[in-house]
Structure formats: structure tokens, C-alpha cells
Amino acid sequence: MKDLSPTLMLSFLVFAVSFGITLVIPNLWVQLFLGGICGAGIYLGIAYLFKMKELEDVKYMLKRKA
């Protein structure tokens, strides 16, 4: 459970921010776009800042596809 805690807490933070954004904006398409962009940006930014292992997994998968 110790290895899962940082990822789980980061996911809840991203959920809270994305949900907060969708509460403020009435247009569904804009909610979807901004919630996704902000959520991905926050997740990747914090994962990079704290050098989380999950970010290395994403880099590996992206390099393998190319």
C-alpha cells in the first residue's frame, strides 16, 4: 500500500481540480476539454516534479510506439 499512496493521492488531487473546473463552466464540451487538459497537465507536472516512477513508464510506452 505504501507504493500506491502517492499515485492515489495525486489522482484524487487531479480529480478535485478537474471536478472544480467542470462546476464553474456551463458548456459540456468546454468542461471536457479543459478538465482533460488541466487534469493531464497537473498529473504530469506533479509526477515530473516529484520524479514518480509512473512518469518513466509513460515515457517508455511513448518511445515504444514511435
Please give the model's pTM, rounded to 2 decimal places: 0.74
pLDDT score recorded for residue 1: 64
Q: What are phi and psi of 41, to 5 degrees?
A: -65, -45
Whether 1 contacts 18, CB under 8 Å: no
pLDDT score recorded for residue 62: 83
Whether 65 contacts 21, CB under 8 Å: no
Q: Which three cell numbers stand for residue 41?
A: 497537465
What are the average pLDDT values for consecutive 10-residue runs of the chain, which has 66 residues?
81 92 92 91 88 83 78
Whether 13 contacts 50, CB under 8 Å: no
Q: What are phi and psi of 3, to 5 degrees?
A: -70, -25
pLDDT score recorded for residue 30: 93
Helix (H, G, I), strand (E, B) or coil at 23: helix
